[in-house]
């Protein structure tokens, strides 16, 4: 079912499927809870799966001109509190992973396991920060062009034609993200701090799903990052870029399902 929770006077959309131990899925930049449609159908056979539209994405409105990862984490907290869910496995795709780390830093006792799905604990490099400012300008001038250029780059080159429908869906979802939502997320990501210590001190298992053809986050860096937690689980996708849930759906569903089963000792 689809539901809504009020956070700072705004209505946050979430989806709630299945029964049992909970897995929460957070989408990335320019995405919405719909990128998890296939995932939540599969995972909800064994788990209760919650996904939400992060601030300024999907049907959740903007609440400011900068959406920090901490603010988005508070929004998640509101949804979980209103559903009275105390403990869950939390998986975040890219920007969703940044939000997941912020949530974990503040509310570690609520997490049964953490999954960084093509995501990192590293902050933006100085170069990336300059790129973010440039992207803000491009979005303000021509958001549609920005989206058309960006989305195909998220897929491995050889998957662009193979995953033609997924590229189209990802573009449509991205086109529906408002200019303000896009800019607020870019500024929020630019501001985020390092979460390496959060990973080092993690008392839970951390699953890293890494695409070998990811042009946003280099797989070699993510492999290094995966050495930080005490209990890492690493899955490297040979033929995926930044969109493993579309490019390698069976492998990534199985990875998350097995991980959640272990976290809940099923
Ligand atoms: C995402 O997919 O969420 C973004 O590409 C993350 C980023 O730009 O750092």
What are the pLDDT digits (tens) for 165-193? 999 999 999 999 999 999 999 999 999 99
Å from CA of 47 to ligand 1 middle: 27
Instruction: Output the pLDDT for position 235.
Output: 98
DSSP bridge partners of 16: 50
Ligand 1 binding pocket mutation candidate from 95, 101, 122, 217 (most atoms within 8 A of CB): 95
Ligand 1 binding pocket mutation candidate from 94, 182, 244 (most atoms within 8 A of CB): 94
**At 214, is the pLDDT very low, low, confident or very high (cuts 50, 70, 90)?**
very high
Q: Give the chain's mean pLDDT.
A: 97
Cα-only R_g, the chain: 17
Q: What is the token pair recorded at 184? A: 């607020």
Compute the average pLDDT of residues 117-137.
98
Compute the average pLDDT of residues 77-106.
98
Compute the average pLDDT of residues 203-213.
97
Instruction: Output the pLDDT for position 222.
Output: 98
162 has pLDDT over 80:
yes
Four-residue CA torsion sign, 139, 141, 143, 145: negative
Question: Can you give the pTM of this predicted structure?
Answer: 0.98
Q: Which atom of ligand 1 is nearest to the CA of 94?
A: 3
Compute the average pLDDT of residues 204-226.
97
Compute the average pLDDT of residues 34-51.
97
**At 146, is the pLDDT very low, low, confident or very high (cuts 50, 70, 90)?**
very high
219 has pLDDT over 80:
yes
**At 266, is the pLDDT very low, low, confident or very high (cuts 50, 70, 90)?**
confident
For the chain, give the DSSP string.
Answer: -EEEEEETTEEEEEEEESSSSEEEEE--TT--GGGGHHHHHHHTTTSEEEEE--TTSTTPPP-SS---HHHHHHHHHHHHHHTT---EEEEEETHHHHHHHHHHHH-GGGEEEEEEES--SS---HHHHHHHHHHHHHHHHHHHHHHHHHHHHTS-TTHHHHTHHHHHHHHHHHHTS-HHHHHHHHHHHHHPPP-HHHHHT--S-EEEEEETT-SSS-HHHHHHHTTSSSSEEEEEETT-SS-HHHHSHHHHHHHHHHHHHHHTT-
209 has pLDDT over 80:
yes
Å from CA of 265 to ligand 1 middle: 32
Alpha carbon 220 to chain centroid, angstroms: 20
* Structural contact between residues 76 and 104, judged by C-beta atoms closer than 8 angstroms: no
Instruction: Output the pLDDT for position 6.
Output: 98
């Amino acid at each position: 079912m689809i539901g809504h929770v009020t956070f700072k006077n705004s209505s946050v959309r979430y989806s709630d499927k299945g029964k049992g131990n909970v897995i929460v899925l957070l989408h990335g930049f320019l995405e919405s809870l719909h990128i998890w449609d296939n995932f939540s159908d599969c995972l909800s056979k064994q788990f209760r799966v919650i996904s939400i539209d992060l601030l300024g994405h999907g049907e959740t409105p903007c609440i400011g001109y900068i959406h920090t990862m901490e603010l988005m984490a508070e929004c998640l907290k509101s949804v979980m509190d209103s559903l009275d869910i105390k403990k869950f496995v939390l998986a975040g795709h890219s920007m969703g992973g940044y939000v997941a780390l912020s949530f974990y830093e503040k509310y570690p006792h609520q997490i049964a396991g953490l999954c960084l799905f093509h995501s990192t604990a590293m902050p933006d490099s100085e170069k990336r920060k300059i790129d973010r400012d440039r992207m803000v300008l491009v979005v303000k001038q021509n958001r549609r062009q920005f989206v058309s250029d960006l989305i195909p780059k998220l897929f491995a080159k050889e998957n662009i034609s193979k995953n033609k429908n997924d590229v189209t869906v990802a573009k449509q979802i991205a086109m529906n993200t408002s200019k303000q939502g896009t800019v607020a997320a870019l500024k929020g990501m630019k501001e985020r701090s390092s979460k390496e210590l959060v990973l080092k001190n993690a008392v839970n298992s951390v699953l890293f799903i890494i695409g070998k053809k990811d042009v946003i986050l280099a797989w070699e860096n993510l492999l290094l990052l995966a050495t930080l937690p005490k209990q890492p689980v690493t899955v490297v996708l040979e033929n995926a870029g930044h969109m493993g849930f579309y490019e390698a759906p069976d492998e990534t569903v199985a990875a998350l399902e097995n991980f959640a089963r272990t976290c809940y000792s099923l």
